[in-house]
Amino acid sequence: MPQTALVILDDPVIDSRFEGVGASRDYRFADPSAAQVNVLDFGVTRGDGIFETISVGAGRLQALEPHLARFARSAALLDLPAPDLDAWREAIAAAAGAIDPAPEAFVKTVMTRGVEGSGGDVTGWAYASPSADFAEVRREGIAVVTLDRGYRHDIAKTSPWLLAGAKTLSYAVNRAVLREAAKRGAEDAVFVSSDGYLLEGSTSNLILRVGDRLVTPSLDLGILAGTTQNDIFGFAAGIGLRGEYALLEQSALADADAAWLVSSVRHAAPIRSVDGVERPVDAELTAAINTFLIGRRV
Ligand code: PLP
């Protein structure tokens, strides 16, 4: 079996599907190491499109339905046609099933606004690969810096055209903050709103432990509603930790008993320092959360 797999969807959206075709498959395998995307694709030239990255643990797609629901929400926020979720489910399963068995893998789904001048057909694919080894990061933790995102905490309400909270392909900023973090001797960044509230990581959500509560920034702050954070809150309830959403001042990060950046694939990365100041790592809870996340069956 190949190490990676690429599935291209012929009909990624509901609008473009033929009625009653049923028997024909809506996807095809392609060579992931060969060029497949048109140079005029809006995803390439403008970052105009959406994506999801779905963890695969021991061959099982994790939080698939929440990822698909967010994919559809992102499409709606960008005024893209609604993705045909049945077609995507099939393509994702095909891609995940085509790679070598690995303890941890991922499938990335991408849907762009399509090729400029081609009449509005969107482009869609699902790419599967084994995951990198995050054992050390999960054990030793990460150093983070806090960086001003430059937007107020309420932009999702005041300025929906900024697409805050949509998982768009425009991730140049999310990459730039990693370079800024590296210049400051850190591995990741925590975004803070221009008016001083904690938001999210560059590709992750922030969770704080405060006593027997797990607290994460409210989802109406123009941040991504994380599938991993949501699953962790479900797990935490079962071990006596209450999950809460709150408007958190920046100082809450330094005051927390422990903190994590959580996301699909990397899962829970404990924060071991903030802006150069060492922070306590809750090794036991981190291990319990990651064992739970890696072992999820749905
Ligand atoms: N926030 C941002 C900006 C992200 O890019 C991601 C994931 O890539 C997340 C949060 C975490 O989302 P999830 O847990 O669903 O992977």
Domain identity same for 120 and 143? no
Quick one: which atom of ligand 1 is closest to the CA of 63? 15
Same structural domain for residues 91 and 118? yes
User: Does residue 22 register a pLDDT over 90?
Assistant: no
Helix (H, G, I), strand (E, B) or coil at 57: strand
Mean pLDDT for the stretch of residues 197-223? 98
DSSP letter for 41, please.
B
Q: Is the pLDDT of residue 20 over 90?
A: no
Beta bridge partners of 105: 56, 130
264 touches ligand 1 (CB under 6 Å): yes
Say if residue 161 is in the same domain as residue 262.
Answer: yes
Q: Could you tell which of 50, 55, 163, 167 is best to mutate to test the pocket of ligand 1, judged by most ligand atoms within 8 Å of the CB?
A: 167
pLDDT digits 0-9 by tens, 34-57: 999 999 999 999 999 999 999 999
- Does residue 150 sit in the same domain as residue 281? yes
Do residues 80 and 167 both lie within one domain?
no
Rounded to whole angstroms, how far apart are CA atoms 138 and 28?
A: 36
For ligand 1, atom 12, name the residue with the nearest CA: 226
Same domain, 149 and 123: no
122-138: burial string, b at 16+ Cβ within 10 Å, e else: bbbbbbbbbbeebeebb
Tell me if 71 sits within 8 A of 109, measured CB to CB: yes
Please report the pLDDT score of residue 15 as a whole number: 65
| Residues 221, 122 share a domain | no
52 lines ligand 1 (CB under 6 A): no
String of DSSP letters for 104-148: EEEEEEEEE--BTTS-S--EEEEEEEEPP--HHHHHH-EEEEEEE
Average pLDDT score over residue span 90-103: 96
* H runs (alpha helix) in 210-255: 227-238, 251-255
Lowest mean pLDDT among 22-26, 104-108, 152-156: 22-26
Q: Considering 131, 158, 178, which residue would you say is the last residue of a domain?
A: 131
pLDDT above 60 for 224: yes
Tell me, what CATH number does 202's domain have?
3.20.10.10
Same domain assignment for residues 9 and 86: yes
pTM of this prediction? Answer: 0.95
Residue 203 Cβ < 6 Å to ligand 1: yes
Is 227 touching ligand 1 by the criterion CB < 6 Å?
yes
Mutate to test the pocket of ligand 1, among 61, 65, 77, 264 (most ligand atoms within 8 A of CB): 264
- Residue that wins the pLDDT comparison between 268 and 2: 268
Q: Which of these, 275, 289, 2, 259, lies nearest to 134 by C-alpha position?
A: 289
Is-contact 268 262, C-beta < 8 A? yes
pLDDT at residue 259 tops 80: yes
Last residue of a domain, one of 76, 96, 131: 131
Does any ligand 1 atom lie closer than 6 A to the CB of residue 204? Answer: yes
Report CA(231)–ligand 1 centroid distance (Å): 13
Name residues whose C-beta falls within 8 Å of residue 33's C-beta, 6 or more positions apart in sequence.
Answer: 4
Q: pLDDT-based confidence at 119, cuts 50/70/90? A: confident
Same structural domain, 90 and 173 = no
Q: Are residues 151 and 113 in the same domain?
A: no
Q: Is the pLDDT of residue 241 over 50?
A: yes
In this structure, the answer to whether residues 126 and 141 fall within a common structural domain is: no
Ligand 1 contacts CB of residue 200 (under 6 A):
yes
CA neighbor of 286 nearest in space, from 138, 133, 142:
138
Same-domain status, 197 and 210: yes
Domain count, the chain: 2
pLDDT band at residue 267 under the 50/70/90 scheme: very high
Mean pLDDT of 262-282: 98
- Of the three residues 80, 101, 131, the one that is the final residue of a domain is 131
| CATH code of residue 84 | 3.30.470.10
Domain encompassing residue 44: 5-131
Specify the pLDDT at position 25.
63
Q: Is 62 in the pocket of ligand 1 (CB under 6 A)?
A: no
Is residue 23 pLDDT above 60, yes or no? no
Distance 226 CA to ligand 1 centre (A): 5
